[in-house]
Structure 1
Amino acid sequence: MSTSTADDAATIFADATAYADEPRLHAAMAHLRRHNPVARVDHGPYRPFYAITKHADVLDIERDNKLWLSAPRPVLTTAAADDVAKAQLDSGAGLRTLIHMDDPHHRKVRAIGADWFRPKALRNLQTRVDELAKSYVDKMVEIGPECDFVEDIAVHFPLSVILSLLGLPEADYSRMHKLTQEMFGADDAEYRRGTTLEERMATLLDFFDYFSKLTASRRENPTDDLASAIANGTVDGEPLSDVDTASYYVIVASAGHDTTKDAISGGLRALIENPGELDRLRREPELIGTAVEEMIRWTTPVKEFMRTAAEDTTVRGVPIAKGESVYLAYTSANRDDEVFDDPFTFDVGRFPNQHLAFGYGVHFCLGAALARMEMKSLFTELIPRLDSIELAGDPELAATVFVGGLKHLPIRYSLRAGK
């Protein structure tokens, strides 16, 4: 029986600035994978947890959703935020998205929106996604020869896709983007609304206020959109509570575009910094599918989820007691050299690519197929029209302990006009 030991490298997971400093991050993760793959982290302001850094261990935990539960600690938040969330949930007023739920309730709630992300529905959406992709590449031509690819393009393309699927008016898109920035960027000085827990919670209240009104509207006057499906969804014959309905909207509207933004912008950066791979895609456009998977592995927009042990158990010989939590370090798992050949090489033809950026098992990302479609559509439109591209400044990454990627990607480019 092994025991977990404290390791200074593991404190990186309790440091929101770490994901904005990739050399420091990856050096620490490589050390942990090699020397302490199940490392205990006891570093305020967070409650203790075990950092799981090997691909095989993350996969095993994801597979066993009866032993490893999402509740009550689905993501890493401070002890104070944990306490507030518990009090809210106990009162029936807290955020409870799909990532907070366990089976069998999780499976039933997930089914409410699942049909909108199945192959038939996505085939019907393909033409609209292609049109939007072309319009945003055309926009690059209009605003060129320089732009901030994150703020000008990568944010707005997936935002337009997911919010139009929900049926939200275009006038509200900027509001949804701002609230998403504040929620996922709560640890970033540029994005956060404030520094206190109360100020951060106000973002969630604004989300709830917006979506409570949307729920009432769609229940009174249902329309043919995802918002109506959620508003009128039932579990065991009963409608979702107002809180669960609003929570469903929050996760779809926010994660449904922000994570794709991170993969798109980080993917373009990887092509710029690896021009040989960009040339390869120009020569072999049939590699766009594997290129998209590599972009997703490379960026891993969702950095972690937490799981809590339902019973006493072990991970790699390390005892984990009932009620203790583990941190699934997806970014580390996706650079594990026991799974990926040359994991720090960006390879648009990498196959197979067993990345865990969408999670695994019952909590596999509901919108994974849509994200892949959007990325394929955008890069299929962009790459053949691209004559040249380079960085026009330093890329900037967001500080985060949950979801994040590039905040700014200044580029200089030459693009041909579309047909």
Structure 2
Amino acid sequence: MRITAPPPDVEVPLAEIDLFDPAGYRDGCRHAAWRTLRRTAPVWWHERPGQPGFWSVTGYADCERVLKDHRTFSSASGTVLGSVGAGDPAGGRTISLMDPPDHTALRTTAMRSFSHAVVRDRAGRIEEQVRKLVAPLRDGEQDFAVLVRRLPMAVSGEIIGIPEEHWDPIAHWTAAGLSPEDPAFASGPTTAHTLRRAHHELFARFAELIAHRRRHPGTDLISGLLALRPGGKPMEDGDVLLNCYSFMAGANSTTPHVAAHTLLALIERPDEWARLRADPERVPTMLEEGVRWTATPHHLVRRALRDTRLGDVAIAEGDWVCAWTGSAQRDESVFDRPFHFDPARSPNHHSGFGGGPHYCVGAPLSRFALRVLFTELVTAFERFDLVGPVTHLTSNWINGVVAMPVLGKEVRP
């Protein structure tokens, strides 16, 4: 989605707001609609003709409550708008589709794999992989969006237990599985064809890796999941597989798109790039703003476990509730000048890595990988220029970039 500030006096008639349609995120910007809802209907019933409706929640405080209060708002039925109505068939089987206490054992295992200590121990290897990933930028024009699609695999593949020969296909098919509506990932005549192909490709690879680790346990995340005994019984291979996909989905919905949107923001603001080049110590603070600015995912869905209220609105048990986190990152009551990209913003209470029991377990690794990436870029390149149109992702879930041709001017000795 293009990140643009809506004119201050523009309001979108509620009857014209459709936040579900993925195509609107490829060619347009939803910020005018989100701001209208924050101001006039912060908890709003979103009708869908012939389909189940849902509550749209757009303010920062309300979104925080929906994401943190797992006793009232459950993740087990589904966490994306595509789940509304039928529910997610993997509900209750993966870390992203569980509530505490069932969620806790899986989360503890994952946190050990992606902890600050693991990131510190692997810092040299991560830096090596990131330098290898950005090396093609020295050779001339490159599609930065395609390049950084590999970033999550480059820094987490070995931690999870995925050999390097699988990194590129898993990165591609994960992106296709997350955004099957986008033409860049089409592998059949319909979205359903693309989704089935993506799942087939991913699940076949993960099944092979899981079978290998059953026979030859290691120290990676797959081995850790296989060693778990929820309810006194080993995890089934199918559940381990679904959790591998869940981890890949989380990594690929955030890190590469933060990288692309942040570089795009800096290309459009050459003075800020110059400041970072003069003082690379600014990079970590700048990246927190990059996470807020990108604001991906657009939304996270929960289902009400009991009757409750959000503000003045009654929510009934069983209702679907969509927290528009993309809107929350532009809430004027929390962020000063929210449509201004401020690399020095402090404090910066963004929720770009989620919140509550589902706060992203990979956040330490993502932050470190992005820090290494941008430190390398500002050190090695005087500037970047766009050399072609930027194409945004067709998705109501991920605020992504699928094409972003750039040319870097390398620093010369």
Q: TM-score, normalised by structure 2?
A: 0.91
Unpaired runs of 5+ residues, structure 2, are 1-12
Which stretch shifts more, 65-74 or 226-235? Answer: 226-235
In structure 2, do the counterparts of structure 1 residues 359 and 45 end up closer, same or farther at CA, with 3 Å as the change threshold?
farther
Q: 1:410 aligns with which of 405, 410, 413?
A: 405
Give the corresponding residue for 2:37: 32
Cα RMSD after superposing both structures: 2.1
Q: Which amino acid aligns with 2:370?
A: M
Q: Distance in 2 between matches of 1:55 and 1:416?
A: 41
Match for 1:268 among 257, 260, 263?
Answer: 263
Check 1:259–1:193 CA distance in 2 against 1; reply closer, same or farther (3 A cut). farther
Q: Say yes or no: does 1:159 pair with 2:159.
A: no
- Cα 1:147–1:65 change in 2 (3 A) is same
| 1:104 aligned residue | 101
Confirm or deny: 8 A CA contact 2:390 2:401 kept in the other structure: yes
After TM superposition, the structure 1 = structure 2 runs for residues 4-403 of structure 1, keeping only pairs within 5 Å, are 7-11=14-18, 13-22=19-28, 24-44=29-49, 46-77=51-82, 83=86, 88=89, 96-141=93-138, 143-144=139-140, 146-151=141-146, 153-194=147-188, 195=190, 197=192, 200-403=195-398
Query: Which residue in the other structure is 1:3 paired with?
Result: none
* Alpha-carbon separation, structure 1, partners of 2:67 and 2:383: 42
Give secondary structure in 2 for the equivalent of 1:301.
coil
> Deviation at 1:44?
4.4
Separation in 1, partners of 2:343, 2:279: 10
Instruction: Write the letter of the residue equivalent to 1:213.
Output: E
Query: How big is the shift at 1:10?
Result: 3.8
Distance change (3 Å), C-alpha of 1:338 and 1:107:
same
Is the Cα–Cα contact under 8 Å of residues 267 and 383 in structure 2 kept in the other structure? no
- What amino acid maps onto 2:273 in structure 1? L
Contact persistence 1:47–1:78 (CA under 8 A): no
Deviation, 1:201, is 3.4
Q: Which region of structure 1 is more displaced relative to structure 2, 165-174 or 359-368?
A: 165-174
After TM superposition, give the deviation of residue 45 of structure 1 in Å: 6.6
Distance 1:192 1:319 in 2: 41
User: Distance between the aligned counterparts of 1:46 and 1:71, measured in 2?
Assistant: 20
Contact kept in structure 2, 1:162 and 1:257, CA below 8 Å: no
Of 216-225 and 374-383, more deviation after overlay is shown by 216-225
- What is the aligned length? 400
The C-alpha deviation readout for 1:73-126, integer Å capped at 9, x for no partner, is 3211066xx53x66x45xxxx793211111110112212221011111110111
Amino acid in the other structure paired with 1:61: V
Contact 2:144 2:406 in 1 (8 A): yes
Report the alpha carbon displacement of residue 199 of structure 1 after superposing the two structures with TM: 5.0
Measured after TM superposition, the shift of residue 404 of structure 1 is 4.0
- Distance in structure 1 (CA, Å) of the matches to 2:127 and 2:92: 34
Residues 1:45 and 1:278: Cα distance change in structure 2 (over 3 Å): farther
Contact 2:25 2:393 in 1 (8 A): yes
Structure 1 stretches of 5 or more lacking a match?
Answer: 1-5
Identity %: 31
